[in-house]
Structures are given as structure tokens and as C-alpha cells.
Chains A and B, each alone.
Chain A
């Protein structure tokens, strides 16, 4: 009996609608974030993450309303990422009912932003998102670089060093996505996950590349992640969160059943 490893379904939300098509037979509106969140909650999700991919900043208020509606019905921790740049943005999200915000690009341009949020509101509400890509050539010691803007822009920063720096600046958690694996269904980059998990004193969420339930267990067992995040394997109805937990339990991972 001890702390459970968490399973976190992630929803991409564009203009208030869930994208990447959720296909649950018994859901009335698969694009409604409230319905999808409620469904994941019933299946036993430990947290839910919303990634706002709305392109236009004019439409950013939409995600606030989404969070408000979800928080009225779903009583597990909620994380929101995408477009959060100022202390005021963080407060708006928390007041809407989010428990944590994920920050990526804004932290790279202004690392003190992480420190400011940590000092003023508390480190427990800041998740620093790290999009990392392997840049070492074959035969060289492994090295991963930090990318921003959804993995499009290189920063020249070493991902492991960045994770340590963000920990020092007051991040409460790291959301680590392997750009090499994202969308491949080949499993997490376990070497990267382990390198970061071993380098920092705060929890690490593994993301990017999950194609089956064993990948989730491996993220914990071999990657040493504290939590695993996945989108498509849950959205497309391939697996339920409950099945994921069963498999992880069979593999010896402590989960909340």
C-alpha cells in the first residue's frame, strides 16, 4: 500500500471541442469535453489533462468555459495546457476549476515565470511541459534537445539540464513528451524518460508514443515515470482506462483500481 502510479488521459481541445475524434458508442456527443471527461472519470482516470490547441488567441476564453463546466461535474485533478503565458492566465485557469497548468514555450522564453507562479501560487500547480528530441548521433552519448511550439522549434537547450533547472525554479511536475515517439505508437522513449526521472526530485509524467497497454506499464517499470499520459489509445476506443489499470496491475505496478 503506497502511492499509486497515475494514468492520465489527455484531450486536445480546439475551440471548445475535443478533436482527434473520440469514438465511444455510448456517448451522445464525442466532441463535448464535458461528456468525454465524465466518461474518463467513470472509467477510473486518475487525472485529466486538456491541451488547448486553439490557434486564434481571440478564442482562448473558450477553454476557460470548458474547464468551468468540467469542474462542475468531474471531481478529480484537472490540468490545462496551451497558451498560458502570464500569471493572470494561471489564475484564470485555477479560478475556472483547473488544479494545474502546463507551461512550455512561456517557460523557455521566461524561466522566471515558473519561479513567479511557484512563489505566488505554489509549485503544486505548475507542470512544466518538455518536448524533447534525440539529437545525438549514433555512437555518441545520448543527448536530447528541448523544442517549443509543439515540437517545431529547437532551443539548443539540453532537455535533462532543462528539467533540473525547472525543478530548481519551482516546477511541481514535469510532463515529458518524446517528439521522436509522439504519434508513432511505438512506446515511450524509455531511455529519455528514465534519464529525466532520475535527474529530478519532482514527479515525471511520461508522454508520447503509447500504442498498447504494455507501453504504459513500461513507462513506469523501465522509464521510472510517476504517471503516464496517453491520448489516442483511449480516444479511439481501443482500450479503456480500466483495462489500462488492470494491465499495469498485472505487470506489478501499483494503481488505483
Chain B
């Protein structure tokens, strides 16, 4: 997925008057923005290569350290130190942890009949309260499509878990950063609610 237009359209649907949605690959735009959404695109290697080529790694990291920041799907995965995808890819290393392939873990768990990618609507168990979960019921379903999942070293980073043969981290929260494995822009009302919460978030999270 990682369809930028879909993310932009969903944000336009929920922004407050005066807020403007801009799709950009320019460091200056990222620096000037009040909120940054980072969908990521393609496989891990392509995504990191694109970020490098556009000299975006530092600007994105700077945003993730300073302002309300929402990672989506690959935009969650590349925040980790390293991914198993494409025979191993070094990522942005904002958080210690590995991005792991689902297939061998499902096989090890005896869940060979489960299809890969994990595609469709699955429950997200919220680990605790967070401004981005406001108005979203515990265990609500969101739309997923992925074959890899994040495994952060710090278990307190997780803000949501989901189950597909194994339990995995489907949302993380840390200071001004929130990042999700699912696609809020394709998750109907609950997805729009999460985006609505994000564009109104001041980045505070105790």
C-alpha cells in the first residue's frame, strides 16, 4: 500500500480549518510543518534508498524528535534499527529493535495455514490510553496489509498489539511519535478518527 494520495485525501477529510495537507519530499517543508505523517513506500530497501537519495533521513528523524509525528506501515518499520526484508536492511534506528518476517514465525508457531501477507481487518488491543486512541473502542478493527512486523526491544514502546498466528506490536508510542502497522487511511471511521486525533494532537504523551 503506502498510497500517498489516499493518506492525503483521508487527512484532508479530518483537518481543522486553517490546516493544510501537503505531500512533499522537501526537507524545508518537513521542517516547517506542524505535524508530520510518514507513510513510507515500497519495500524496506527501496524506502531507505529513496530517503537517502532525497536526503530525507535527517529531516525525518529531526521531525520525529520534535513534533507530532505519525508513521504508517513502512513508515513504522523503518523507524527501527534493522529490517529482515530484502536480505537485511539497515533502517533509521530511532528505536532499538528488529523488523521481522511473519512467515517463519507463523511456521514456527504451527500456523502454516495462515496466508501471507496478513491482509484485512484485524483487532488492535490498545496497551493503554493515548490521545490518538481517543474515541476508538478497545479491540477495534483496522485494515492491515503486510508481511513483516516490528519487534521493539523496549516492550513499553508498544501502544497496540494484534494477533495473527502470533501476537505482534501493531502500534508504538513514544513522546511525540505514534506509529502504526495498519492503514488508518483505509480503516473507515476508526481510521479517520485516529487521523482526526493526530491532526489535533500537541505531541504530549505522559
Contacts and interface: CB of A to CB of B under 8 A. Distances in A.
Nearest to A227: B120
B115 A202 contact: yes
Contact of B164 (A2, A41, A71): A2
Interface string B93-133: 00000000000000000000001111111110100000000
Contacts of B120: 3-6, 46, 203, 226-227
Interface string B147-168: 0000000000000000110000
Interface stretch (A10-18, A116-124, A132-140): A116-124
Contacts of A95: 5
Contacts of B141: 4, 256
Contacts of A204: 115
Interface residues of B, number: 34
A94 interface: yes
A186 interface: no
Interface residues of A, number: 33
Interface of chain A: mostly helix, strand, loop or mixed: loop
A-B complex: 10 closest residue pairs judged by Cβ atoms: A256-B121, A1-B123, A4-B121, A203-B115, A124-B145, A256-B141, A3-B122, A77-B186, A3-B120, A6-B120
27 contacts: A3-B164, A4-B120, A4-B122, A6-B120, A46-B120, A71-B9, A72-B9, A75-B13, A75-B185, A75-B186, A76-B143, A76-B187, A77-B143, A95-B5, A97-B9, A98-B3, A99-B1, A99-B6, A122-B43, A124-B1, A124-B119, A124-B146, A172-B117, A201-B116, A202-B117, A203-B115, A226-B115
Interface of A: 1-6, 41, 46, 71-72, 75-77, 94-99, 121-125, 172-173, 201-204, 226-227, 256
